Amino acid sequence: MNIVVCVKYVPDAQADRTFEDADHTTDRVGVDGRLSELDEYAVEEALKIVEAGGGEGDQVTVLTVGPESAAEAVKKSLQMGAHAGVHVSDDAIAGSDAAATSLVLAKAIEKLGTETKVDLVLTGMASTDGTMSVVPAMLAERLGLPQVTYASEVTVSGDSVTIRRDGDASTQTITSSLPAVVSVTDQINEPRYPSFKGIMAAKKKPVQAWGIGDLGIDAGDVGLAAAWTTVESVTARPPREAGQVVTDEGEGGAKLAEFLVSRKFV
């Protein structure tokens, strides 16, 4: 089984995030970045599927589209256990929207498929920066593959994949033929930490570096100028107002009740 996992390099969600003044794209220069937390679940699931299958030649390839620093997302995935990596980077890609991002990912997966047939594409359910949650669907459409989203369990059997999809009121079990694009949630597993052995082994794993020329993509089809949508303004959330402190001097309960009634909470 040959699995491709799409992993995104994003600004660390724990740190302050800012936007470029000129075009409102995420400021990615000079900020701490990391492999999107939600994509770690996709990497872990791919590793589990390959480990359970035990087939010779089975492998997990991680694919990222992003600036030079995005190589870190590939590196972390290789340290976790992925077998190979692909990093697509090109100045022309900067500022791409979800549509252009999915184009680059699709072309890279097609190119990988000419080397070895791709059986399954796994993605996170959303990136932790853009949070568009649409790249997997766009990718499936471009590749002409079935897509199932928000999997909290994935079982591969023969030439099909079955997922569990948990909703608020019901749980669905969906089966799709392979190859397919599957996005996974953070309920699916517990991503492993890279071991020392994994960190050392990652240094020797193959990583291919491609630009848009290698993928037959025209510069006019990617980047900010080609985006179908534009973020017109970005405003920082106002700081939280200080809360009201109720000092209990024997009538704390009554004061709390008064407060809740005044706000129409009860």
Ligand X SMILES: Cc1cc2nc3c(=O)[nH]c(=O)nc-3n(C[C@H](O)[C@H](O)[C@H](O)COP(=O)(O)OP(=O)(O)OC[C@H]3O[C@@H](n4cnc5c(N)ncnc54)[C@H](O)[C@@H]3O)c2cc1C
Number of Cβ atoms within 10 Å of the Cβ of 134: 15
- Of 158-187, which residues contact ligand X (CB under 6 A)? none
Angle at 21 between CA 18 and CA 27, to 5 degrees: 35
Closer to ligand X by Cβ: residue 37 or 246: 37
Confirm or reject binding of residue 134 to ligand X (CB under 6 A): yes
* 224 three-state secondary structure: helix
Inter-residue contact 184 to 151 (CB < 8 Å): yes
What DSSP assignment string belongs to 183-215?
A: EE-TTS--PPPPPHHHHHHHTTS-EEEE-GGGG
**In terms of DSSP H, where are the helices of the chain?**
37-53, 71-80, 98-115, 135-143, 196-202, 252-262
Nearest distance from C-beta of residue 247 to ligand X, angstroms: 43
Stretch that binds ligand X, among 31-39, 108-116, 172-180, 211-219 (CB under 6 A): 31-39
Confirm or reject binding of residue 8 to ligand X (CB under 6 A): yes
How far apart are alpha carbons 29 and 32 in whole angstroms?
9
Inter-residue contact 8 to 136 (CB < 8 Å): no
Confirm or reject binding of residue 142 to ligand X (CB under 6 A): no
- Of 66-105, which residues contact ligand X (CB under 6 A)? 66, 96-98, 101, 105
**Residue 147 phi, psi (nearest 5):** -135, 135
The residue from 3, 4, 35, 38 that contacts ligand X (CB under 6 A) is 38
Nearest distance from C-beta of residue 112 to ligand X, angstroms: 13
Closer to ligand X by Cβ: residue 88 or 178: 88
Stretch that binds ligand X, among 32-40, 75-83, 141-149, 213-221 (CB under 6 A): 32-40
Confirm or reject binding of residue 136 to ligand X (CB under 6 A): yes
Confirm or reject binding of residue 231 to ligand X (CB under 6 A): yes
Footprint of ligand X on this chain (CB under 6 A)?
6-8, 19, 24-26, 36, 38-39, 42, 63-66, 96-98, 101, 105, 123-124, 126-127, 129-136, 227-231, 234
